[in-house]
Structure 1
Amino acid sequence: MADAPAASLPYHEPDVVIILVLTSFLLLLNIVNAALDQILYCGLLGQVLIGIAWGSPGAAWLSTHVEEVVVQLGYLGLILLVFEGGLSTSFTLLKANLFLSSAVAVTGIAIPIALSFSLQGLLGATPLQAFAAGAALSSTSLGTTFTVLASSGLTTTRLGVVLTSAAMMDDVVGLVMVQVISNLDSTVRPVTLVRPILVSLAFAIVVPIICQLVVRPTTVAMNTYRGSHPFTVISKVLRLRHTAFALHTLLLISLIAAANFAGTSNLFAAYSAGAIISWWDTEVSHPQVAQDRAVDEKSGQTKAPVDDNPAALVPGHPPADVIDGPHNVGEGASRRCASMASSVSSSEETLTSGPAIYGRYYQQVVSKILQPFFFASIGFSIPITRMFTGSIVWRGIVYTFLMIFGKLVCGLWLVRFSKAPGRYSFCRIMSKIRFPSFPHLWGKNRKPDSDQPRATPTEGGHSSNPTSSVAHLDPSTPPKPVSLHPPVILALAMVARGEIGFLVSAVAESKGVFSSSKSAVSRSESDIFLAVTWAIVLCTIIGPLGVGLSVRRVRALEERKDREQDGAGRDVLGVWGVR
């Protein structure tokens, strides 16, 4: 008879060695991250290396139970990172670049899978094994993507929107691959393939429809009630930041639970939750409660909306002469009240917006604990001691270069823009190349591009920065890019693999797909699995490192432009840097 489970866990004071190991682990995760972020905008690489050193692949200072807890908490950090990315979504840019994001995603999936069939020559893989390897390398790490964009300040730019949308699509397809590979030991039924796709489409289509048909009318009705009853308990409660926090968290948990039971990605649900909140903040009108009913009908006294920190709602407006004492509502008081009301309303929307709530309640614990745990948990899953076999090393490196190339191709989609989107011109691309000034070889020196914007004087006689005018262009018809930095940053960011790649490869290995014989039982990893792991690890390192170096170069060019041209001239990223 099995032993009955314990009624409670006896409390024991942790050993001092355990305390020192955990303390050094958490401190170094943050110290290394801060140092590398300052230098290369890729502190996550240091966190992965700390995970290797402290975990099972290295010194094994962390017990297996601790590693499992770190993995679970780290996945919470991944969910919140993706949720934050959804909160930063610009729907104007998302709608304008949906086709482009889809094209980038399809390219990033198809090319790595096609190139993975080279494993048939490298390692004698079967077509099924090559497909499984390509499925693992077709994903893009969402956690890495959002972290790199946040550290480089590109999350809300047009480039960031295209990148996050494409990475999200890649991971949805990666989830489908997991379902397929999980059922390779049995007959693959059509429902196995169709269900994740249909559920993902349902989230992408049905959720926006519900927002338009249910959420928006409900919000309008509630706004009408709040406008006519500004001092009721309901109105006061809805203005509290704690209420917004509870609603945002409830939405996030509900969508993740629904996605898990339905069979789609938890990360896709987390991104959808953040995007819904961003849509509600920016696309749905909110009441001017204080402006409509700044005077209490019953008492005839001016009042302001109540919040958990009223002083913070009206910066620059002393409350003594407006709120505290009873005043007759004359013409001057009405003007003061209207001015105060507009400030209160705008401050209220700012304090209860999605990014504000995330920054107040989530940001610290995610950035200091959960996010470092996630990237350290990636280090736990790298079998570093078994990867350095001569035949595996060179094959893994060759396969890595192929997989890097498979994602770098995605950057070509940003090279081809002209004033008429979708038209390709080799001459336009070649016109961006600056050849050396050798008249006897190339002919006369070329004149500056006529389409390059120039600074125009303003009323005060100062030159204006044309970057500001770029922001007002139609995002669906961008001008030609100034440099190749946007496609390079996009391509390198797509290179990073991570959680989905490890998941697909681990499932394929556990199901015997990578083994030479499914009936053979082996304690060691297969050569194909080790080669795939090499590619995932190196891509996860090279991608963020390349993005960090590119962003650093862009920052240097921006500073030089500001120093030499007093801020005039087009932004280095051009239209792709528009927020």
Structure 2
Amino acid sequence: MATSLPYHEPGIVTILIQTSFLLLLNVANFVLDHSIYCGLLGQLFVGVAWGTPGAKWLSEEAEQVVVQLGYLGLLLLVYEGGLSTCLGALRANLWLSSCVAITGISVPMGLSFVLQKLSGATPLQAFAAGAALCSTSLGTTFTVLRSTGLITSRLGVVLTSAAMMDDVVGLVMVQIISNLGSSGAEISAVTVVRPLLVSIAFAVCAPLVCVFIAKPFTLWLNFWRVKHPLGYINQLFNKRGTPWAIHTSILVGCITGSTYAGTSNLFAAYIAGAAISWWDSEVSHPTNEKTASKTSPPMQNQTSGQSEADNTIISEHTASEAKRPDTSGMATFERYYLQPLERILKPFFFASIGFSIPITEMFKGSIVWKGLVYTALMMVGKLLCGAWLLRISIASLLPTKLSAFVKHPKLQMAHFWGRIHEKPKTSPNSATSTHTAQTQEPSPASQSSREAATQTTPSHSDPSGANPRSIYPASILGCAMTARGEIGFLISSIAESNKIFSSSPTDDGKSSEIFLIVTWAIMLCTILGPLSLGLTVRRVKQLQQGVEKQGRLVQKDVLGVWGVS
């Protein structure tokens, strides 16, 4: 057994292949991101062309390295999504996010049983296919939201939390599917319940740890640092690399604990980012001004009896406090992780998805049309998630008497789209009064009061209380939920390797028909979802620019309350 790896200089062919691979990943991302906001598609196609499905220019060892580094990029993408999450908006929209997630899981699962008629699948095979197609690609979701600038909006919060719930259920399905082949197609209660309960435990215990352990300890530590500004603890926490060490330890600890506990490490990465975001926004920290104001009087009293050397140390400490960099989670992430993530790890992740597409086996006639039909059903299943953002007047669909009963003021209540504001009552002479009001010029006081009322409107409620003027928010949500990506390929590959998709026990080295149909659906959804989302967002931005030229309120006319950060 070798005790070390002999060093060999790579050949020029290997250097050129890997250089072109890395450069094209970034060039394709730049071009498509600046045109249709979905550079990940270019990276996916480069992975298909350079990897095993295409020209096979990359060796199998190189592909394995790309897959492993790409998964690190996926963890950082999800962690960044947690750092970008506004917890107040998350709490306000938790019910809506749950409804979107349940729709995104149940509808594709139900539609997947069409495979029984489409390709003669058994109920177990249809269940495995639905498990693969009920997930949502977290990497794709966070990447597209970041490139479009919607990650901090209310729509982005609803989307990311719903996608996270879908993936938690999808990863529970991974545990179920992986045990089907080894346990003789028997599903025990532990197989189903353990991943779900561990995920719920992480979601419940993380806030409790933050509120009852992290917050009191931080307040005590801040008090100690203010009381001892020249102590070793305060000097340690003022160092540039200390926040990076703390945040990285939290991230790695959560990922490790969740993996050994039996739940998703992606879910743990999101919780780690959200916990650090909460700590930055909800827990008070000793700022430079507070530290200087609280420590300056004792210093002035002590400096009269101190030497010049001591005064120099104190002045240097005060200067270092003034130059202390931003230590928030997002600032630390951008300082240490953003560049390698954007240039290497994230391109490797989407290229690794391209490695999983068996292009050479997918273009058989019967498989193509069945895959297209199944893809259409799976896209509809996720596009229906956007229906939760459509505010349809139920009263307009009811008979006259029942409609009048529903519209009674006592039955009106707040709902998760925003607050319902009572409209002013109109009299029979409303047309005359409206005409009179239009002919009279409003006073400056009334104009200023209207502007103040407009500015003080809550950011998470619809000021008008009327239906949205467009379906763009619903379209963006549905298109973003369409992409399946890494979790879908993972579940389908596990089902194929465990012979769940195989109709016969013989193994001739070829992929099963159901696996290829499911792969068609995952591939096309992963391509068409970000593409349609990018085109929709580009249209929204064009409308926003047009509205800005007319001097009107952009967010109310295009995305409304869903575009509010």
Q: Judge conservation of contact 1:140–1:494 (CA < 8 Å) in 2.
A: yes
Select 1:395's aligned residue among 350, 358, 370. 370
Deviation, structure 1 residue 297? 2.6
Distance in 1 of aligned mates of 2:89 and 2:416: 20
Select 1:162's aligned residue among 147, 158, 163. 158
Distance in 2 of aligned mates of 1:173 and 1:558: 37
Q: Judge conservation of contact 1:471–1:575 (CA < 8 Å) in 2.
A: no
Within 5 Å, give how 1:22-61 maps onto structure 2.
Answer: 22-61=18-57
Distance in 2 of aligned mates of 1:16 and 1:180: 46
Find the counterpart in structure 1 of residue 383 from structure 2: 408
Q: Judge conservation of contact 2:81–2:142 (CA < 8 Å) in 1.
A: yes
Matching residue's letter, 2:517: A
Distance in 2 of aligned mates of 1:230 and 1:50: 54
Within 5 Å, give how 1:291-370 maps onto structure 2.
Answer: 291-295=293-297, 297=299, 300=302, 351-370=326-345
Find the counterpart in structure 2 of residue 380 from structure 1: 355
Distance in 1 of aligned mates of 2:497 and 2:522: 17
Distance in 1 of aligned mates of 2:332 and 2:62: 30
Matching residue's letter, 1:387: M
Deviation, structure 1 residue 136? 0.2
Q: Judge conservation of contact 2:459–2:561 (CA < 8 Å) in 1.
A: no
Q: Does residue 1:552 correspond to 2:538, yes or no?
A: yes
Find the counterpart in structure 1 of residue 398 from structure 2: none
Q: Judge conservation of contact 2:50–2:57 (CA < 8 Å) in 1.
A: yes
Find the counterpart in structure 2 of residue 431 from structure 1: none
Q: Does residue 1:539 correspond to 2:535, yes or no?
A: no
Deviation, structure 1 residue 258? 0.2
Select 2:512's aligned residue among 526, 545, 559. 526
Q: Judge conservation of contact 1:421–1:477 (CA < 8 Å) in 2.
A: no
Select 1:290's aligned residue among 285, 289, 292. 292
Matching residue's letter, 1:213: F
Q: Judge conservation of contact 1:96–1:475 (CA < 8 Å) in 2.
A: no
Select 1:110's aligned residue among 97, 106, 109. 106
Within 5 Å, give how 1:68-79 maps onto structure 2.
Answer: 68-79=64-75
Structure 1 residue runs of 4 or more that deviate by more than 4 Å after TM superposition: 298-302, 323-327, 417-424, 455-471, 473-480, 566-569
Deviation, structure 1 residue 267? 0.3
Q: Judge conservation of contact 2:52–2:355 (CA < 8 Å) in 1.
A: yes
Structure 1 residues 88-111: Cα deviation after superposition (integer angstroms, max 9, x where no partner)? 010110000011111100100000
- The TM-score normalised by the length of structure 2 is 0.85
Find the counterpart in structure 1 of residue 409 from structure 2: none
Structure 1 residues 490-518: Cα deviation after superposition (integer angstroms, max 9, x where no partner)? 0000000111000100011011110002x
Deviation, structure 1 residue 484? 1.1
Distance in 2 of aligned mates of 1:235 and 1:478: 51
Q: Does residue 1:63 correspond to 2:59, yes or no?
A: yes
Structure 1 unaligned segments of length 5 or more: list them.
303-322, 328-339, 425-446, 448-454
Deviation, structure 1 residue 483? 2.1
Deviation, structure 1 residue 265? 0.3
The Cα RMSD (Å) is: 3.0
Matching residue's letter, 2:366: S
Find the counterpart in structure 1 of residue 406 from structure 2: none
Distance in 2 of aligned mates of 1:509 and 1:481: 44
Structure 2 unaligned segments of length 5 or more: list them.
305-310, 394-411, 418-433, 435-441
Distance in 1 of aligned mates of 2:444 and 2:528: 44
Deviation, structure 1 residue 278? 0.1
- The TM-score normalised by the length of structure 1 is 0.83
Q: Judge conservation of contact 1:457–1:463 (CA < 8 Å) in 2.
A: no
Q: Judge conservation of contact 2:555–2:564 (CA < 8 Å) in 1.
A: no
Q: Does residue 1:500 correspond to 2:487, yes or no?
A: yes
Deviation, structure 1 residue 298? 7.0
Find the counterpart in structure 2 of residue 306 from structure 1: none
Find the counterpart in structure 2 of residue 486 from structure 1: 473
Deviation, structure 1 residue 213? 1.0
Q: CA 1:494/1:237 → structure 2, altered by over 3 Å: closer, same or farther?
A: same
Deviation, structure 1 residue 239? 2.2
For residue 514 of structure 1, give the secondary structure of its aligned residue in structure 2.
coil
Q: CA 1:220/1:32 → structure 2, altered by over 3 Å: closer, same or farther?
A: same
Find the counterpart in structure 1 of residue 222 from structure 2: 223
Q: Judge conservation of contact 2:44–2:350 (CA < 8 Å) in 1.
A: yes
Within 5 Å, give how 1:135-284 maps onto structure 2.
Answer: 135-185=131-181, 186=183, 187-284=186-283
Q: Judge conservation of contact 1:51–1:376 (CA < 8 Å) in 2.
A: yes
Q: Judge conservation of contact 1:479–1:575 (CA < 8 Å) in 2.
A: no
Deviation, structure 1 residue 285? 1.1
Distance in 2 of aligned mates of 1:423 and 1:158: 12
Distance in 2 of aligned mates of 1:458 and 1:499: 58
How many residue pairs match? The answer is 511
